[in-house]
Structure 1
Amino acid sequence: MVVAAQPDRCPRRRRPVRREARPRPPPSGRPPVTTPSYALSFGRVARHPAIIVFAALAVVHLVLVAADTGLSQSVTKALLVPALAVWVVAVGGPRLLVVALFFSWVGDVALEVDGMFLLGMAGFALAHVCFVTWFVRNGALAGLRRRWWVVLVGLVAWAATITALWGPLGDEEPGLRLPILVYSLLLTATAVTAFGVNVLAGVGGALFLLSDTLIALDIAGMSRPEPGGVWVMVTYLAAQVLLSVGMVHTDRVRSSIHDATGDAVHTGGSIR
């Protein structure tokens, strides 16, 4: 007698399939934003010892300039750019930036000595040659094809400034007309090419142009905002900081891309 198999009334329980938990998105619904290790941030820059020293020297110097103390302000002025250069070297900034800061220091020191104005202008002119060279090597021309209006604004600003200064300079310092004409072109070139690479550096270049325009107004015997010496130094120091931070940041970003891909980024020349 064959007995039919009875169905299993107690089937085995299936093991539940474990599903991997999906990461919860942040409350905003966007992926978290992390700052790359190569990128600069305000906090990273501000906490660096060399920048702290630079900021302290800047405050002391501006107070001395406002008080018109003479020799003591010359000493603090001679220490400012070297402190900024120490930061650039410490973070591995571009070599051309270090050279530009050196020539800026030469200009700072020379302008504090009577009869050395042209030497000081020459020092700053060489600094601007370094700035323009670095910006062109790092894609300024390509950037300006997208921001063509920057070139137009720069040329209009240069022409307007020279037109306003030309007559008064002829009355006060006719021998400085040609040097100021050439130097102002270099200043404008720095501001324009900087905008082609990095907006922060571009603002720095524009402030450099403003600072030296205030000096030119004084030479030409024209009115300028008071206290004139304080405004000259505020705009100058801000210009050097913004140019330096903008150039270092751009250099680090381009270097990180180069390291990641193994191929040099084509920027019309060397990165550094």
Structure 2
Amino acid sequence: MSARTALAAAPRPAAGALSRGLLVALALAVAVDLGSLLAGAELGHLIAKPLLLPLLAAYAATRGAPRLLLAALLLGWAGDVLLLSDADGAFLAGMGAFAAGHGCYLVLFGRRRTSVPLGIVYTGVLLGTVVLLWPDLPAELRIPVAGYSFLLAATAYRSSALGLAAGAGGALFLLSDTLIATGLAGWPRPPAPDFWIMATYVAAQCLLTAGALKAEYGERRTTD
């Protein structure tokens, strides 16, 4: 990295203050959303959920995030908003937005090397989950869910190329959407499933963002 590039990459004090402010706002929005889900306060969830990914994307932008990361986060926001609607086709449209976001993540991960044994594990998880869920899924959702599950497992696997934090984020994303899929199939789920779906989802997006920023700029860029 040249001296000029290093100076450009170093966050300025004003940008650092803005980043910290956005993190505080994100933490408050997460607390409101998860607290609303635990309390059964639907209005709080409807207000807070659409704020989460824009705040995370804004924070990432202040840290010089790659465009593909911002695109993945904003596509996740589109999916979040669509899944709040009961309109016909909103679920499939939301799934499509998330699928496009996973595509952005996969391109962002590039050709970095990843563990072969881990790939075998995720392949087994993908195949086992789809096979087990298939008979209980609504017929019109079987193919879309299977296709989306492939992208989701690919993101979970390839995210580990960016380090432990991103790898954990990919795994949590897989867990979150698996909880959604078990609900679609009518399987038993843990108490307060919507809380756990959102908790693992938000953690996943935050960890993927942190891992991508660290891979792009190093530790200092993500913490100053």
CA separation in 2, counterparts of 1:197 and 1:229?
28
Check whether the contact 1:38–1:253 (CA below 8 A) recurs between aligned residues. no
Give the total of aligned pairs: 205
**Inter-CA distance 197–69: structure 2 relative to 1 (3 Å threshold):** same
Mean CA deviation greater in 62-71 or 95-104: 62-71
Residue of structure 1 aligned with 2:101, choices 127, 142, 146: 127
Over aligned residues, Cα RMSD in angstroms?
A: 2.1
The aligned residue for residue 168 of structure 1 is: 136
CA separation in 1, counterparts of 2:50 and 2:38?
17
The aligned residue for residue 37 of structure 2 is: 65
Structure 2 portions without partners, runs of 5+: 1-8
1:232 correspondence with 2:197:
yes
| Deviation digits for residues 4-55 of structure 1 (CA, Å, limit 9, x no counterpart) | xxxxxxxxxxxxxxxxxxxxxxxxxxxxxxxxx969xxxx89x811111111
Equivalent AA in structure 1 for residue 187 of structure 2: M
TM-score by length of 1: 0.72
CA separation in 2, counterparts of 1:156 and 1:227?
28
Runs of 4+ aligned residues of structure 1 deviating over 4 Å after TM superposition are none
CA separation in 1, counterparts of 2:24 and 2:106?
28
SS in 2 for 1:225: coil
SS in 2 for 1:48: helix
The aligned residue for residue 5 of structure 2 is: none
Aligned pairs for 1:206-221 within 5 A: 206-221=171-186
Q: Identity of paired residues, percent?
A: 38
CA separation in 2, counterparts of 1:133 and 1:199?
19
TM-score by length of 2: 0.87
CA separation in 1, counterparts of 2:69 and 2:162?
14
Equivalent AA in structure 2 for residue 221 of structure 1: G
Check whether the contact 1:128–1:186 (CA below 8 A) recurs between aligned residues. yes
Equivalent AA in structure 2 for residue 251 of structure 1: E
Check whether the contact 1:150–1:195 (CA below 8 A) recurs between aligned residues. no
Shift, 1:69, TM fit: 2.0
Shift, 1:197, TM fit: 2.7
Shift, 1:160, TM fit: 1.2
Shift, 1:199, TM fit: 1.9
Aligned pairs for 1:86-97 within 5 A: 86-97=58-69
Shift, 1:75, TM fit: 1.4
| Deviation digits for residues 49-101 of structure 1 (CA, Å, limit 9, x no counterpart) | 11111111101111111122223311100001111011100010111000111
